[in-house]
Amino acid sequence: MTPFKLTLAVGMMAATSLAVPALAGGTLRLDEVAVGELDPAKASDYADSILMFNVYDTLVLPVQGGPGHAPHLAESWENDGNSFTFTLRSDVNFQSGNPLTADDVVFSVERMKALGAGLSYLLGVVENVEAVDATTVRFDLSSSYAPFVASLVRLPVVDSKLVMDNLGEGEGEMGDWGQAYLSANGAGTGAYRVVSHNPQEETVMEKNDGYFLGIAEAAPDTVRLRYGLEPSTVRTLIAQGEHDISSQWLPPEVMGALAKEGAQLFTESGTGAFYLKLNTTKPPLDDVNCRRALSAAFDYQTAIRMIAITDDVSAGSPSTGAIPVGMFGANDRSMVQTQDLDKAREHLAACGYDAAEMDIEISWIAEVPLEERFALLFQSNLAAIDVKSHIRKLPWALFAEQVSKPENTPHVSQLFVNAVTGDPDTLLYGMYHSSTPGTWQSPEYLNDAMVDEYLEAGRNAPTPDARAEAYSMLNARLMEITPTIYSYDRQSVFAASSRVNAPALSDPAHAFGLDGMGFSFRLMEVADD
């Protein structure tokens, strides 16, 4: 047996080593786009993640300020081939007062797999999960899976007793698996409990005084997470001292203006990018030369200028290819993509469709105003090679519904996508593997045997070097067949009032390297109201 024993002390250090000046916890007010999915088995978007990371806990957490993972609900784990055995902490209670046991972990896995929603595909490799005893749980995998421990940051553990007491109607013994209940109520061990939840307006949370790690007095007593605020509203509220942290979706000039007015700029370095995703099943984009023409026509340099906020802070950096810089398989920082209209015309001439008859539909998400500017930029780029296009604004809910079928999916879908566990497998597999089309992440509907092969190698390779080689080959293949235009590698930027201290969003030594986890409210400090 090869032990991967990680001590509880390391986990505590990773979770609580923030040295920040003391404040007096008050109300923290922030906003996100209108998603707000509270059921942790369905969480996949940024707002969902903020809720999940605060109401629920996971077996492991990313190490702050460095690579790897540290124990959290688990105090240690061991790996023997394709089996992983976790020993749980014995001092954790759910917010209901029920003690955490291995049965809750088993239930959480079975629930996610039964619902098949959100990020449940991360657990597809789990062939069996078993409670060995009250504090020991064993996962048996159907095959080797290098990012398995990383995937557990997306396994929120739910209170099985509470959920079982609140099953709704549905097929089988488990009914709806508590979906109706968990869409409005929390059932976690997390540092914050849900007071009220309206997914279109606001979620209100308050400190869980029984949290197993304790919560500093200066951490916010109450959190009000609002959805769908207009940028002008957010700017006014922050300027008037009535709002604390903006979403990352404010237009760059609004962020810049707030910074000039004294707001802080928090950042969260993502493991993702801004993509113009091309529907590879819809003419004319079912022709690779047409896709290559669109990619060569895109103005990457102007895109970067459009996201600059100040001289020192930007919402992204130049793309070097299909994989963001810093991840396995990424190209060198010097290999930035550039617009080449001559090459675009060459590819267009090789396309099997008549350019004069093309009309490319470019969609943008209504809740993300910045995307309209990129739609207009791309429309201008296409006009430069005499390709007609039209722009369509889609609310998120409608977009997510439309992309479930290739014939309803726009030619071009503009999306921010991140590695939901920090590992490249969770950025790329869900986008490009032929088994995963029809989600908001995969409107390309790509079906390529070589891409599948490299993706499988990346998740099953035995060493980091082997994984890096597989992803490098994947990068080259994706650039060759061009299912996506890789606009820029992203960084989330948030405007914040001076009354908030958030080291995980302002100091790289405390950053988690996982989108949304910087908003762990227990690690923030806020001045009293």
pLDDT in tens, 284-317: 999 999 999 999 999 999 999 999 999 889 999 9
- Contact assessment for residue 61 and residue 523, using Cβ atoms and an 8 Å cutoff: no
Measuring CA to CA, which residue among 403, 411, 401 is closest to residue 483? Answer: 411
Q: 73 is in which domain, residue-wise?
A: 2-15+44-189
Residue 510 belongs to some domain of the structure: no
**Residues 290, 237: one domain?**
no
pLDDT at 422: 84
Specify the CATH number for the domain of residue 424.
3.10.105.10
Q: Is the peptide bond before 284 cis (omega within 30 degrees of 0)?
A: yes
Residue 17 has pLDDT above 60, yes or no: no
**Among candidate residues 271, 328, 327, 319, the one with its CA nearest the CA of residue 470:** 328
pLDDT for residue 29 is more than 80: yes
Residue 202 falls within a domain, yes or no? Answer: no
What is the largest distance, in Å, between two alpha-carbon atoms of the chain? 68
Average pLDDT over residues 391-407: 95
pTM as predicted: 0.81
- Amino acid letter at 343? K
The confidence band for 118, taking pLDDT boundaries of 50, 70 and 90, is confident
The answer to the question of residue 27 being in a domain is no
* 370 and 298 within one domain: yes
**Domains held by the chain: number:** 3
Give the model confidence (pLDDT) of 415-453 as tens digits: 999 888 888 998 999 899 999 888 899 999 999 999 999
Q: Are residues 337 and 260 in the same domain?
A: no
> Is residue 19 over pLDDT 60?
no
